[in-house]
Amino acid sequence: MELLIKNVNIVDSSKAFCGDVYINNGKIEDIGILNRDCEVLDGEGLYLLPSFVDLHAHFREPGYEYKEDILSGSMAAVKGGYTAVNLMGNTNPTCSYMDIVDYVLDRARRIGLVDIHQTVTITKDMLGKDIDHLKLIDERVKFISDDGKGIVNNKVMLLAMQVAKEKGITVISHAEDDEISKIDTRLSENLMTKRDIELAKFTGCSLHIAHVSTKEAMEEIATAKDKGIKITCEVTPHHIFGTSSLNYKVNPPLREREDIEALIRAIKRGYVDAIATDHAPHTKEDKEKGAMGISGIEVAFPICFRKLVLEGHITLNRLIKIMSENPARIMGLNKGKIEVGYDGDLVLVDLKRIIKLIHQAFYQRGKTIPSMDMKFMEG
């Protein structure tokens, strides 16, 4: 298949100019002022960006398909401009086994909308104790995480990091001690962040810290990065936009204005590697019962564009770096840049057309997200 996208504003992390992009058999083959005898898409007035890559999402399949499944999650991802997604393992059964990985990857291939990677749990069935199953994972697994629960036992996390180091995979840390969380969620995140950084330093494993939400945790990460410790981190759109005043249940919780300001400073200074959605859909009934999670993959880019770019904190190029290029690099994908030889995974965005957020129009099954009194540009 050949496609020529013409007269478009081409923007990635390192450039911005008006021109044309030629895609052949899924790869970017030429960029410039071009003519080709093939299908032509006129993008005049629009912005052509690398599609977004989500390091952290939940499509709920298998086991919780009433909340979301791989089809509805993939449709939501595409609508949000994403073509690659890393799924967490807190499904039912938990993704502690390669047969679950096989199931998810096969479903994703048959649906064929986005590239999906499946994370395996750090501990068997997320019970916080047994890591013997890690011996059986193969090269398709790039990440392990008990996302949704922190690994409270220090020795278990240490041993898991040693296995990850041997296999060349990355540990994704959900930095939470649930016993401390019952007392203070901020202290819980801060303590576990520091602990996991120290263990990563000791073992030499690759550590990625998920959904950083406090100013203190981000300070620990920045200090570790300055010391050359091998870690990466992500923040979510909701943690850079919403405060605890929204009274919306997510884990970690929405924090305070000073935390948002600290996260944005870290983004500006280059300490934040990626923005990840932590897309975690629930039904209205489950949310009313206190379920933790927000469905954000369809609106992540417009939220971040408004908060970070339109408010003057960073450039669009910088936003693309942390929503496309960096997460693609962390996942080992040939995506995230508009350059010859890269995958032709691109998204056209109209940055001038404003639409109102209509929850009922979402493809995602979890339609209960906070009313943020926002209007968005249409992608």
* Residues designated as active site: 278
**Closest-CA residue to 144 (of 208, 54, 58, 211):** 208
Read off the DSSP letter of residue 253. P
Q: Which long-range contacts (C-beta less than 8 Å, at least 24 apart) are formed by 263-270?
A: 263/212, 263/213, 263/215, 263/218, 263/235, 263/239, 264/240, 264/307, 264/308, 264/313, 266/218, 266/221, 266/222, 266/235, 267/235, 267/240, 267/308, 267/313, 267/314, 267/318, 267/322, 268/313, 268/314, 269/222
Give the residue carrying structure tokens 């970017």.
28
**Closest-CA residue to 252 (of 284, 218, 219, 222):** 218
Please provide residue 84's backbone torsions phi and psi, each rounded to the nearest 5 degrees. Answer: -145, 135
Query: Residue 361 corresponds to which tokens in the numbers above?
Result: 């129009």
Q: Which long-range contacts (C-beta less than 8 Å, at least 24 apart) are formed by 30-35?
A: 30/340, 31/338, 31/339, 31/340, 34/4, 34/6, 35/4
Asked if the peptide bond before residue 50 counts as cis, ω within 30 degrees of 0, the response is no
Q: Report the half-sphere exposure of 193 (CA within 13 A, side-chain side).
A: 26
Spell out the alpha helix ranges (H) of 69-171. Answer: 70-79, 98-111, 154-167
